[in-house]
Structure 1
Amino acid sequence: MLITVIVCTRNRARQLRNLLESFLALDPPAQAEWEMIIVDNGSTDDTARVIDEFGSHLPLRRVWEPRAGLSNARNAGVAASKGDYICWTDDDVEVHQQWLSAYAQAFHRHPDGTIFGGVVEPVYEESPPHWMVENADKLVDVLAKRDHGLQECRLTTDLHLLPYGANFAVRAEEQRRFLYDPHLGVSPEQKRLGEETVLLVSVASLGGAHYWVPDSRVRHLIPTSRMTFDYIGTYFQSVGETWAYLSTSDGVPIMGQPIPMYGRRFGGVPLWIWRQSVVAEIVYRIKRTLRPSPSRWLDDLINKSRLAGARNFLWRHHRSLTQIKTSN
């Protein structure tokens, strides 16, 4: 068995170095060989030099993908992979010593498995603010926290059980049947989410099994910059933009039911979205002014940000379609 590990990165040489240092301590997988692919997605910092430094210590190779975007980088990694299984992690994590060996053992135990996921544990750069700890249940997606318990087991493919991008594996035969959508995933031009979830839903539709592998663990490093209300707002704007994009493209509804496009519109945006987004903004501002405790208005921040993200995407999408029609 050959396992391919893929990491996509762009201008995060410091974080990548930290990740690769954790790979040096990996237990080698039993009854399996492995390769590592670092997809350099157009970096202009020291990323190439960092990869070269670890080249004599790890079975890695660099794949250059100049087209910016996480989905483009993921697709380049899959195209270059040779493994029977593909393990994914991110450049801002530290892998546990048993991360890869636990997956290898699970692959042997569960030949019917096509999707595997492991623990993602948030680790904070500094002590998180009280409001973040108090509202951790509302911020699970923001922190990419995933933990389904200590027992290895078969899971359903419900959305809330699927693994996060920081720690998952897919059998290569199924992985290669689907591309990651370049219109999803973070890039300099867009801040959309969910490219891996949409792909996993497609893989799950083929009927294979989904297994939880608790001994495969990563520590997701949360910088101080992500422990702010501004970041929470930006994240949920991305959720709203993703929701709107999937609604206009008949995509997999991972962000909820598609946006109803009934009734009158202004600038391509249904009037009900304009109305709800304005009301949500006003409610948020009033509550934040009158109620100092973030627990009293965090839901309002999330709601108004999500609606604003959806509204702004639909507005831009309409303008883009109008420009295309005009040019033709």
Structure 2
Amino acid sequence: MSDRPDPFVSVIFPTRRRREYLRVALESVASQVRAHRGELLVVEDDPADPATERLTADHGARYLSHGAPRGLNAARNTGAAAARGTLLCFLDDDVRAWPGWLSALLTAEERCPEHLVFGGPIRADLENTNLHACGREPLPVTSLDLGPEDHDAEFAWGANLTLRRRAIDMAGGFDESLDLYGDEEDLQRRLRAKGGRVRYVAAAGVDHRRAGPDARLNALATAAYRRGRNSRRYDGRKHAMPALSAEMRTLVGCLVHTVRYRCGNGIVMTAHTAGRLREALAPLPQPPAAADPDFLSGESGTLNRRSRTSGAARDAVADLLSAPDRRQLRRAARREPPRRRVLVVSIGRPEHAAVTAAAVAELETSRHDVAIRVLPPKPGAGKWVNLNAALAAQPLESEDWLLLLDDDVVLPVPFLDPFLFAAERFGLRLAQPAHAYNSNAAWRVTRRRPGVLARTTSFVEIGPVTALHRDTFATLLPFPDLHMGWGLDVHWAALAAERDWPLGIVDATPIRHTRPVASAYPRERAVAEATTFLAGRPYV
């Protein structure tokens, strides 16, 4: 490990005026960090506290302060920005790291260069508590035990979370709008969507402490109630909220557990479920948000379980009623337009390989001359940088159409022949297939309209499926070096208006976008990129 930069590892503690907890945490890691020539940082999510600053200095750590509370994830982002290491270890301020914690992480990091996230055991430690627990359920403090061996895991928890710096860059940092629940899970979901892997390191453990009044039953139940409210809110963000009846059954089960086993932990579990029910019946008001920029739709378009089911039913009815028209369209598309040259480009992530393969198989059935390039994403590069790289490797020469295809799209059967027939019949220069009802789509104008072949619009999306006619290549290519590309569609619309290019949506070939918009990156980062890109550029 001698060839690593100095410091290679940064250990970061977000905190908020919890000096006694922080003292134990710093004592447990300071010597380990010195032994590996790392650095220690403490980020105060509050106005600066001289006593905490002195404590931090006593352990050889740097002290940073927000000046006002901004939240746990904001403190993590502040620490990551200030850290000099390329391996970032985030610890809660109420943990005690095990001896050898850092050595185990560094060994795992070196042995697993393809992994982006590392975590280890988190053992609950209630000091001098009055909680009587029967032992059938875990203690009411975040804990994790995935066994005695190192292996891949779905998630690591934020109390003991280590990231390579490039993971922060890929994910765009922690989402600062999240509070208390889902804060670290959200970032890992974005990383996993890009192929990132998580490694559980069995020897890199910490004790998760509750001490003094915090270890008493009343405080544990109060904290559980708050976590319950936040967990229900985060379930809503993921569109995975259980039905109210399921929450009620859980509450009854917790009450029965409390009485049957004379278990104080049942009281805490009851408080947690009560918090979830309270949030379901009377949601806490969300912090006021600034108005969305005018280049956004104002809607997420993300399906939940109910809208997905109802959307699938509406699609089935629409398909049944439009079956005669679709048969006629398929017959016409066998003859017109003349055989075209089409280049299809897609950036394919491994986790979407099956969906991409099905789309490619469908495109290959076309009567047109179709060339398909599916390339893996370049690590750290955005969609549009990757698309430019793909087009540089295969320049457009005699192609009539360029089709941009996301890797999480289900195409109808048949797709390309009727789609091109309709696009050319309407003289479109930028075209997209409509979204099915059972599709994640942010713009209402892009939803399918039964009984309509196609329609001209003043706007088309940049994905998940977009077709560019050869007349647009000189103006639109190469694409701007953007990551997410928000705002590019409204800029294209302005360019099209200037050049009298017809734009439109083909309703006869509705596609299904399987993943929510912005599921692989923070929405705030996409908005910021779009704001910068559109500054000084025309858009509609």
Q: Match for residue 16 of structure 1? A: 22
Aligned residue type for 1:293: R
1:165 aligns with 2:158: yes
Deviations 1:278-316 (A, max 9, x none): 9998x69997998793479645544322111333325x3
Deviations 1:138-160 (A, max 9, x none): x4xx31111111111223x2xxx
Deviations 1:108-165 (A, max 9, x none): 100001111111112221155323x43433x4xx31111111111223x2xxxx2221
The CA distance in 2 between the partners of 1:209 and 1:231, in whole Å, is 33
Residues 198 and 252, structure 1, Cα contact 8 Å, conserved in 2: no
Q: Match for residue 137 of structure 2? A: 136
Q: Match for residue 379 of structure 2? A: none
Q: Match for residue 266 of structure 1? A: none
Q: Match for residue 183 of structure 1? A: 177
Shift of 1:172: 0.8
User: Quick one: which of 115, 118, 127 aligns to 1:116?
Assistant: 118
The CA distance in 2 between the partners of 1:153 and 1:289, in whole Å, is 35
SS in 2 for 1:215: coil
Deviations 1:237-275 (A, max 9, x none): 43333423552xxx345xxx1477xxxxxxxxxxxx6x9
The CA distance in 2 between the partners of 1:246 and 1:286, in whole Å, is 23
Residues 15 and 42, structure 2, Cα contact 8 Å, conserved in 1: yes
TM-score by length of structure 2 reads 0.46
Aligned residue type for 1:105: T
Q: Structure 2 vs 1, CA of residues 320 and 312 (structure 1 numbering), >3 Å: closer, same or farther?
A: farther
Residues 129 and 215, structure 2, Cα contact 8 Å, conserved in 1: no
Residues 242 and 310, structure 1, Cα contact 8 Å, conserved in 2: no
Residues 8 and 91, structure 1, Cα contact 8 Å, conserved in 2: yes
Residues 41 and 65, structure 1, Cα contact 8 Å, conserved in 2: yes
1:293 aligns with 2:257: no
Which structure is higher in RCO with an 8 Å CA cutoff and minimum separation 6? 1
Q: Pairwise mapping of residues 15-54 of structure 1 onto structure 2 (< 5 A)?
A: 15-26=21-32, 33-43=37-47, 45=49, 46-54=51-59
The more displaced of 65-74 and 41-50 is: 41-50
Root mean square deviation, CA, Å: 3.4
Shift of 1:80: 1.1
Q: Structure 2 vs 1, CA of residues 207 and 123 (structure 1 numbering), >3 Å: closer, same or farther?
A: same
Q: Match for residue 202 of structure 1? A: 190
Residues 276 and 307, structure 1, Cα contact 8 Å, conserved in 2: no
Q: Match for residue 309 of structure 2? A: none
User: Quick one: which of 256, 279, 282 aligns to 1:312?
Assistant: 282
TM-score by length of structure 1 reads 0.72
Shift of 1:20: 1.4
Structure 2: give runs of 5+ residues left out of the alignment: 292-540
Q: Pairwise mapping of residues 237-248 of structure 1 onto structure 2 (< 5 A)?
A: 237-244=226-233, 247=236
Aligned residue type for 1:38: V
User: Percent of counterpart pairs with the same letter?
Assistant: 24
Structure 1: give runs of 5+ residues left out of the alignment: 186-191, 261-272
Deviations 1:181-214 (A, max 9, x none): 22223xxxxxx32211111211222212221111
SS in 1 for 2:22: helix
- How many pairs does the alignment contain? 279
The CA distance in 2 between the partners of 1:154 and 1:278, in whole Å, is 35
- Work out which of the two has the higher radius of gyration on C-alpha atoms and give 1 or 2: 2
SS in 1 for 2:9: strand
